[in-house]
Chains A and B, each alone.
Chain A
Amino acid sequence: MRLEQIEKDPGEFSLTPNLKDYEAERQTFAWERVAESFEGLPSGGLNIAHEAIDRHANGERAEKRALVWLGENGEKREFTFVQMKRLSAQVANALASLGFGKGDRIFTLSTRLPELYYSAIGIFKNRSVLCPLFSQFGPEPILQRLRRGDARALLTTRTLYEKKVEPLLGELPELKHIILFDAPEHLDKRVLSLKQLMDGASDVFDIPPTDPEEMSILHFTSGTTGMPKGVVHVHKAIYNHWTSGRYVLDLHPEDIYWCTADPGWVTGTSYGIITPWLHGLTNVVDEAEFDASRWYRILQEEQVSVWYTAPTAIRRLMRIDNDPLTEYDLSRLRLIQSVGEPLNPEAVVWGVEKLHLPIHDNWWQTETGGIMIANYLSAPIRPGSMGRPLPGIEAAIVRRTDEGGVEIVTEPGKEGDLALRPGWPSMFRAYLHEPERYEKCFAGGWYLSGDLAYRDAEGYFWFVGRSDDIIKTSGHMVGPFEVESALMEHPAIAEAGVIGKPDPMIGELVKAFVSLKAGYEPSEELRRELLGFGRKKLGVAVAPKEIEFQDNLPKTRSGKIMRRLLKARELGLPEGDTSTLEN
């Protein structure tokens, strides 16, 4: 059932929204004019670090708080823009002194520590490439990504290093250095201490000329048939970050901003690091994982005004039978945005009832680099819809034709592929070393997102599902092939088929169906062993949560496991076209 549209009363906004008239703004918008919002690099070109930190540190925001870091155990540390400028300069000098420079891939694997945030800026300053990994990956996903991304250095913590990286060192000859955030001194010639490096480094760093088209960030995202893909982004992506910060997050200079996403994923870098600082804002970072009472306290005590979070967290807040506004003073909070997976309509309405603020859903992907389609502060919300394309973004529903092109679906409510017209500044420039996979994303002059959606008569887009087998769990993507490959390394497993099983809390959970080799029998003991095997190898973010034994997994005549059929059977749905099923 579709819930009623939520209307907005402009008289209730505490600040005038940046986007007042959606249609008018779309008509007059031009990407070239976004350049006026940047200073440009004194040495020439455009560099994220200069626009996000240095220009503010050199101006009237120098002593303003850039980062408010809340430690898991109650610690609080604050960094001004000028401090961030100096610390990131030290990191850049340290990297340069080790011989790293333009284009070198510097990976990060860390929980949300202050070192991670100023190191990211330092990496940009040095014109190296930031490659974030999620700290809950296991050794196998880490190894795959370090290899595929040509890692030259890895910035991490001592615990994560010892647990997940040290056993891999022999397999990574090109990885020159591991740099530890929390080691007081170098461990040996290869494993170094960031502190020791920074102690010997100058806190002044003049950023060399940077081409706006230079690679800045390499994120990994999951594929349906192969191993993860390295998604290449460039410095110019900040045109989108700045624009979406203005229109979608409605950032104003006095805002205090909190994005709850982890910088191991794209939301945590684009909107947890870059965007708030482009706008010169105070950015709140919490080291701890989700905890309802803690989160409400942070909103209150840090006086957060713009909050960017995720459906999984909102659904957990909804589980509490309380009245947050009588328990906490959330009077500064004026805008809530959500991303990661479609936000269910009930959650949008819950916001209105419990927080007196609707929750705004929006849509984008690792490949798009920034928000593409959104609900806006000044515009009505249709609960369950991702909203309408940003000014400067052209989106459509298309259908592939037999000739290899596409045709646009104009009929409202008709499902098809969600597509974007290429050319926006934060569009990914390549899948690293995989030009063919990149080419496959485009057809007939459109970028095909892989998401199925429809558009209603008023231009609002509605998510329907994925057009492939990629699993969306707790807001991040898991590629079934990567999970299957890891499971197949267990001596008992003959075949594995992995699907996303719908779950009310996390969207989908990773479920594996396995058949066993001769000599092995299904048992509870073996199921637990396999569960543990997957978790150890892949890490909790990727490993299956459920494993089911099944003889003879359904396969095509060419021997490919039919995940679609496994999923249909799991859900008790019609099996669809089974004409290619092996007898």
Chain B
Amino acid sequence: MTKEQIQEAIITQIQTIAPEIERDDIRPDAHLQRSLEIDSFDFLKILTALKEILGVEVPEADYAKVDTLNKMRDYFAERMAS
């Protein structure tokens, strides 16, 4: 899967949990929870869904490494490649 495809999967999941969010609202380097007003419950659900799709689990201790769109995309890309 390319980085672009991973990013697409992330955006789709964000919009599934929070359909009010427009694509343009998601700034690549903004803190996802704070800038989009998704709470930690939503965030857990997004990561759970992504685990199903991408096959990579983000352990709780790594949540700070996936707190922006870019960081999350790179996190998945790195682990899916290995």
Q: Which residues of A contact B38 (CB under 8 A)?
A: 540
Answer whether residue B42 sits at the interface, using C-beta atoms and an 8 A cutoff.
Answer: yes
Evaluate contact between A289 and B20: CB separation under 8 angstroms.
Answer: no
Evaluate contact between B60 and A72: CB separation under 8 angstroms.
Answer: no
Q: Which residues of B contact A319 (CB under 8 A)?
A: 60
> For chain A residues 538-556, which have a beta carbon within 8 Å of chain B?
539-541, 545
- Taking CB as reference atom, which chain A residue is nearest B33? A289
Answer whether residue B23 sits at the interface, using C-beta atoms and an 8 A cutoff.
Answer: no
Which of B19, B21, B41, B61 is within 8 Å of A509, CB to CB? B41
Question: Separation in Å of the B68 CB from the closest CB of chain A?
Answer: 12
Evaluate contact between A291 and B16: CB separation under 8 angstroms.
Answer: no
Q: Mark A13-26, 1 if CB is under 8 A from B, else 0.
A: 00000000000000
Answer whether residue A531 sits at the interface, using C-beta atoms and an 8 A cutoff.
Answer: yes
Q: Which residues of B contact A312 (CB under 8 A)?
A: 40
Evaluate contact between B42 and A291: CB separation under 8 angstroms.
Answer: no
Answer whether residue A3 sits at the interface, using C-beta atoms and an 8 A cutoff.
Answer: no
Question: In the docked arrangement, what's the CA distance between A289 and B34, Å?
Answer: 8
> For chain B residues 10-32, which have a beta carbon within 8 Å of chain A?
16, 18-21, 31
Q: Do A536 and B20 form a contact, CB below 8 Å, given A289-B34, A292-B60?
A: yes
Answer whether residue A573 sits at the interface, using C-beta atoms and an 8 A cutoff.
Answer: no
Question: In the docked arrangement, what's the CA distance between A289 and B67, Å?
Answer: 11
Q: Mark A109-128, 1 if CB is under 8 A from B, else 0.
A: 00100000000000000000
Q: Which residues of B contact A503 (CB under 8 A)?
A: 41
A-binding residues in B (CB < 8 A): 16, 18-21, 31, 33-34, 37-42, 44, 59-61, 63-64, 67
Q: Which residues of B contact A545 (CB under 8 A)?
A: 41-42
Question: In the docked arrangement, what's the CA distance between A65 and B59, Å?
Answer: 36
Answer whether residue A45 sits at the interface, using C-beta atoms and an 8 A cutoff.
Answer: no
- Taking CB as reference atom, which chain B residue is nearest A291? B64
Answer whether residue A535 sits at the interface, using C-beta atoms and an 8 A cutoff.
Answer: yes
Evaluate contact between B37 and A540: CB separation under 8 angstroms.
Answer: yes
- Taking CB as reference atom, which chain B residue is nearest A321? B59
Question: Separation in Å of the A476 CB from the closest CB of chain B?
Answer: 11
Question: In the docked arrangement, what's the CA distance between A317 and B63, Å?
Answer: 12
Which of B34, B37, B40 is within 8 Å of A290, CB to CB? B40
Question: Separation in Å of the A391 CB from the closest CB of chain B?
Answer: 36
Evaluate contact between B59 and A528: CB separation under 8 angstroms.
Answer: no
Question: In the docked arrangement, what's the CA distance between A545 and B40, Å?
Answer: 12
Q: Mark A509-552, 1 if CB is under 8 A from B, else 0.
A: 10000000000000000001101110110011100010000000
- Taking CB as reference atom, which chain B residue is nearest A327? B61
Q: Which residues of B contact A505 (CB under 8 A)?
A: 41, 44
Question: Separation in Å of the B53 CB from the closest CB of chain A?
Answer: 17
Given contacts A292-B61, A294-B64, A316-B40, 16 further A-B contacts (CB under 8 A): A72-B31, A290-B40, A291-B64, A291-B67, A312-B40, A316-B60, A320-B59, A320-B61, A474-B41, A503-B41, A528-B19, A529-B19, A531-B18, A532-B20, A533-B20, A540-B42
> For chain A residues 316-335, which have a beta carbon within 8 Å of chain B?
316-317, 319-322
28 A-B pairs within 8 Å (CB atoms) are namely: A72-B31, A72-B34, A289-B34, A289-B40, A290-B40, A291-B67, A317-B60, A319-B60, A320-B59, A320-B60, A320-B61, A321-B59, A322-B61, A474-B39, A474-B41, A505-B41, A531-B20, A532-B19, A532-B20, A533-B20, A535-B19, A536-B20, A540-B37, A540-B38, A540-B42, A541-B39, A545-B41, A545-B42
- Taking CB as reference atom, which chain A residue is nearest B39? A540
Evaluate contact between B16 and A528: CB separation under 8 angstroms.
Answer: yes
- Taking CB as reference atom, which chain B residue is nearest A135? B37
Q: Which residues of B contact A506 (CB under 8 A)?
A: 41
Q: Do A136 and B39 form a contact, CB below 8 Å, given A72-B34, A289-B34, A528-B19?
A: yes
Question: In the docked arrangement, what's the CA distance between A474 and B39, Å?
Answer: 10
Question: In the docked arrangement, what's the CA distance between A531 and B16, Å?
Answer: 9
Evaluate contact between A293 and B64: CB separation under 8 angstroms.
Answer: yes
Question: In the docked arrangement, what's the CA distance between A320 and B37, Å?
Answer: 25
Q: Which residues of A contact B41 (CB under 8 A)?
A: 474, 503, 505-506, 509, 545
- Taking CB as reference atom, which chain B residue is nearest A536? B20
- Taking CB as reference atom, which chain B residue is nearest A316? B60
Question: Separation in Å of the B44 CB from the closest CB of chain A?
Answer: 7
Question: In the docked arrangement, what's the CA distance between A317 and B60, Å?
Answer: 8
> For chain A residues 495-513, which have a beta carbon within 8 Å of chain B?
503, 505-506, 509
Q: Which residues of A contact B40 (CB under 8 A)?
A: 289-290, 312, 316, 474
Question: In the docked arrangement, what's the CA distance between A540 and B31, Å?
Answer: 16
Q: Mark A299-321, 1 if CB is under 8 A from B, else 0.
A: 00000000000001000110111
Question: In the docked arrangement, what's the CA distance between A540 and B39, Å?
Answer: 7
Question: Separation in Å of the A524 CB from the closest CB of chain B?
Answer: 10
Q: Mark A55-79, 1 if CB is under 8 A from B, else 0.
A: 0000000000000000010000000
